[in-house]
Amino acid sequence: MHATRLFSEWFNPLLSHLDGRVQKHRVNPRILVSTSQRFVFYRIPKAGHSTVGNTLLRYDPSITDEQREAVQASGDKIGVYRHPREIGLRRSREAWRNYFLFTFVRNPFQRTLSAYLDKIMRDRPPAAKNLGASPAQDGSTPSFFDFLERLENEALYRGPHWAPQVSLLPRDRGRLDFTGHLEHIDRDLPALVQRLFGDGSLVEIHNWDPHRTGSASKLAEYYDGAAVDRVRSLYREDFDAFGYSLDPSD
């Protein structure tokens, strides 16, 4: 491990206060910081982070139209925002103490299936390599059953796209000022934008999700009793932390 990376993970509070079960250098690029608007967005993969980020870029008053056009043309999900290691220790300490910290989360049943459909069924390296197992000799794609089995066999924290959401956030989740839910994005995202940028800021949500899988409509196709039990066990912390039902039909 590089000394500078280790130093950041020990002393940068935006990193040192992370849960830590997912390697912190892999979480760092998923944390967006705005020093002008004084917020920190803990992006959770497969929980609408692209739509949230794109909407923030659209309505952030510190971003020029030229910058927005450049970001949209490039397909960039990050835009002008920065990561904890980029802003340094002094600004990270200020951000941890005084900025508005937030995230968006998702029902674990839907998020887990979405990760499988996007990263495994679509064979999207390097994410699929994080399962820690070689492809089948016949070149076939692992089934959803195989995917869950590999998560149970030490791959759960290797891939941010399927790691429990609590493992990508600060250990003390009480430090978060706002936790939105993807299932209520039509309500929660306008409330967030209003909090960040002022009354009347949000005109419409700007969806930007080229990897959408439609997992919410495919639950019955993939979830039998065994799969339900396995996801309940793997993601019990997420169910408890964010108030999601253990019944996938709810």
Joined together, the tokens standing for residue 21 give: 């079960």
Is 213 contained in some domain? yes
Note the pLDDT of residue 206: 61
Write the DSSP symbol of residue 38. Answer: T
Note the pLDDT of residue 140: 73
Is 249 contained in some domain? no
Note the pLDDT of residue 137: 47
Is 173 contained in some domain? yes
> Residue 84's domain spans which residues?
3-242
- Number of other CB atoms surrounding residue 246 within 10 Å: 15
- Asked if residues 227 and 144 have their Cβ atoms less than 8 Å apart, the reply is yes
Is 21 contained in some domain? yes
Is 237 contained in some domain? yes
At CB < 8 A and 24+ separation, what contacts does 212-221 make? 213/113, 213/114, 213/117, 213/118, 214/117, 215/110, 215/111, 215/113, 215/114, 215/117, 216/110, 218/113, 218/117, 219/109, 219/110, 219/113, 219/248, 219/249
Note the pLDDT of residue 43: 97
**Could you tell me the mean pLDDT of each successive run of 10 residues in the chain, 250 residues long?**
74 96 95 97 95 91 89 76 94 98 98 93 72 61 92 94 98 98 94 89 62 71 96 98 94
CA–CA distance, 250 with 245 (Å, rounded to integer): 7
CA–CA distance, 111 with 46 (Å, rounded to integer): 6
Question: Looking at the 3D structure of the chain, how many domains does it have?
Answer: 1
Note the pLDDT of residue 212: 57
- Asked if residues 39 and 196 have their Cβ atoms less than 8 Å apart, the reply is yes
Is 248 contained in some domain? no
Amino acid in position 111: R
Write b or e for each residue in 7-20: b if 16 or more Cβ atoms lie within 10 A of its Cβ, otherwise e. Answer: ebbeebbbbbebbe
Return all residues near 165 (Cβ < 8 A) that are at least 6 apart. 44, 47, 103, 105, 106, 108, 111, 238, 241, 242
The partner residues of 181 in beta bridges, in order of sequence, read 105
Position of tokens 């064979």? 123
Joined together, the tokens standing for residue 32 give: 């967006």
- Asked if residues 109 and 223 have their Cβ atoms less than 8 Å apart, the reply is yes
Is 250 contained in some domain? no
User: What CATH number is attached to the domain comprising 65?
Assistant: 3.40.50
Strand, coil or helix: 80: coil
